[in-house]
A and B are shown apart, each in its own frame.
Chain A
Amino acid sequence: MNRLLTVLRCTVAATLLVTISGCKTAVSAKPIGPTFAIQPPLGLPPLSIPPENPPTVASIALGRALFYDVRLSNDNSISCATCHNPVLNFTDGNKVSHGFGGHVGVRNAPPIVNAAYLRLQFWDGRAASLEEQAAFPISNPVEMNQSHDISVAKLAKDPEYAALFNKTFGPGGVTLQRIENALASFERTVLSGDSAFDRYLFRGERDALTPSQIRGFRIFIDTKRGNCSTCHTVNDTYALLTDGKAHNIGVGAGDAGAFSDMGRYPQTKADADRGAFMTPSLRDVARTAPYMHDGSLKTLKDVVDFYAGGGNSNPYLDKEIRTIVLSAQDRQDLVAFLESLNGTPPANVGPPKTVR
């Protein structure tokens, strides 16, 4: 009987080991070779990079290839770039995204531009890093609809990919963690700064903005007027134009506190997060219509009017949302200012010459 028990104990221990190694693969997913120093453009702070995934020239190139590779989807029709299209500033221009088999999602595709600076990813902040984020859309049934095992197997079948993975991370071939790390490193290079606004504020080029844009900027940062920068933050030496937090501004609010989308609430179960969504950065905002998590606002003017009216009342409305008295000129100035946030498009982030 004792022997049986020992056998059982061993089996349990082995099963546990297998389970653990299944989650965290024994194969290293840390890129090998010299780290590539990503230089953020004017207006952006230094990047914070996880020590276990330092970007290298090879990992960035591999991530770029994966980003544009349709093989990460069930029917080889959708890549990351389908909804994060570089031509549309890494969005899809749709109200909400269209995924596998014509499925329609529930949220507006956020640009991946400057996502490297976000502590929490997705509209609801459900991923804590770019690495963690990368895997979600691949297996989401209404997005790319492909299990991670199949993605790994499909890529591993391609000898060129297998070689690229080995070159980037060392022996071990294709793993999910390596796919995530490469995609994250590529995304860390998709940065937008050096806008007219940045040249005005951080380089002191007084004529970089028009008088209307300067008036708009003053309204933007005035807590008694636009009060925009309370959430779309501007610091002394850089401007992320997001506080990286979730707020309820009333978009999607129905009668008596009902919401079409509960936003961050399922993640935190905090009442204040009912109908709350992560503040998007406003960089390149004039290039990323339509707006809000549900794409319900078509133009920047609509957005300014939405805030001017005090959003939509509901029991969880953020205390910073209130009616703002803005003249037509003020609103025009705000829109003009938002247009000054269009950055210099980053280099080497389009589809690679040979998609492999």
Chain B
Amino acid sequence: MKLQRFAVPSLLAVMSLLGCKLAEKSASPAATPIQPAVQYFKVDEAHVGTIKGTIRFAGKKPVAKLIDMSEDPACVEAHKGKAYDESLVVSRDGSVANAFVYIEKGFEGKTFEAPTTPVMIDQRGCWFRPRVMGIQTGQPLQVVNSDPVTHNIHPMGTVNREWNHSQGPGDEPILRKFPKTEVMIPVKCNIHSWMHTFIGAVDNPYFAVSGDDGSFTLPKLPPGTYTLAVWQEKLGTLKQQIEVTEGHDSVASITYKGQ
């Protein structure tokens, strides 16, 4: 009898405890506010213009410095031929390659959906390829190691999180994202001191890297006034206002003054 008297209240107590938990659980979803769905800005491609331009350097053409990879003989072999410093690549006529061009201002209040197609960095011949690249914030970055040696890629973000990751020969690609705008994120290899690349993370899809002829194109821009910014590793940043009108090419000629 005693046992029964003891058992009944304790069972009740257990039930009421469970009841409390259940009540809490069912109440919790209502307590969290529902996030409003992000309204992505859609470009009306029937009414767009283009920015075309070239980047030049008026100073003395730098002499390309030879890179010494003898620290790692496997790299010397993997690189196949001489490697030259690419921090400032200027053609005979003064065209600047590897300059990063992007729309810095003009899209205030607009949110662009991030592409799902990754931007690639290949570590090949103990060299980052490409030297300069753009990525949209939230777009995946895919890092590949095509070398017979281990690399340790190290993007040194200050706005985005800094990280480094080891990648041995034949290892799976590394996938990462940069959630915030940051121009530029310097990237090094922790193992091979000569390896450098730069990533420009921008919250709109209008960015480009100049080719060997110094040219770049930013197509399918909505008409409007923008701030076009150009970054070059050695020469720094230049900005200019530019007007885009429907159906036209707006031309930007950008020249870095030299000494």
Contacts and interface: CB of A to CB of B under 8 A. Distances in A.
A313 B162 contact: yes
Interface stretch (B54-62, B96-104, B146-154): B146-154
Contacts of A310: 152, 154, 164, 190
Contacts of B110: none
Interface stretch (A34-42, A222-230, A249-257, A279-287): A249-257
Chain B interface residue bracket vs A: 20 to 34
Contacts, number: 64
Contact of B191 (A255, A256, A305): A305
Nearest to A299: B168
A138 to B, nearest CB: 33
B163 A313 contact: yes
B176 A305 contact: no
B168 A305 contact: yes
B93 interface: no
Contact of A256 (B154, B161, B162, B190): B161
Interface in B164-214: 164-166, 168-169, 171, 175-177, 189-191, 193
Contacts of B152: 305-306, 308-310, 323
Interface in A201-224: none
Interface centre among A296, A309, A311 (most CB of B within 10 A): A309
Interface string A236-259: 000000000000001001011000
Contacts of A250: 165-166
B71 A309 contact: no
Contacts of A154: none
B72 A309 contact: no
A311 to B, nearest CB: 6
A312 B73 contact: no
Given A306-B166, A312-B166, A328 B191 contact: no
Contact of A298 (B74, B162, B168): B168
Contacts of B177: 255
B34 interface: no
A261 interface: no
A318 interface: no
B3 interface: yes
Contacts of B190: 308-310, 323
Contacts of A313: 162-165
B150 A8 contact: no
A262 interface: no
Contacts of B162: 313
A8 B168 contact: no
B92 interface: no
B1 interface: yes
B25 interface: no
B65 interface: no
Contacts of B161: 256
28 contacts: A1-B2, A250-B165, A253-B165, A255-B175, A255-B176, A296-B168, A301-B150, A305-B149, A305-B152, A305-B166, A305-B168, A306-B152, A306-B166, A306-B168, A308-B152, A309-B151, A309-B152, A309-B164, A309-B189, A309-B191, A310-B152, A312-B164, A313-B162, A313-B163, A323-B164, A327-B71, A328-B71, A328-B74
Interface of B: 1-3, 71-74, 149-152, 154, 161-166, 168-169, 171, 175-177, 189-191, 193
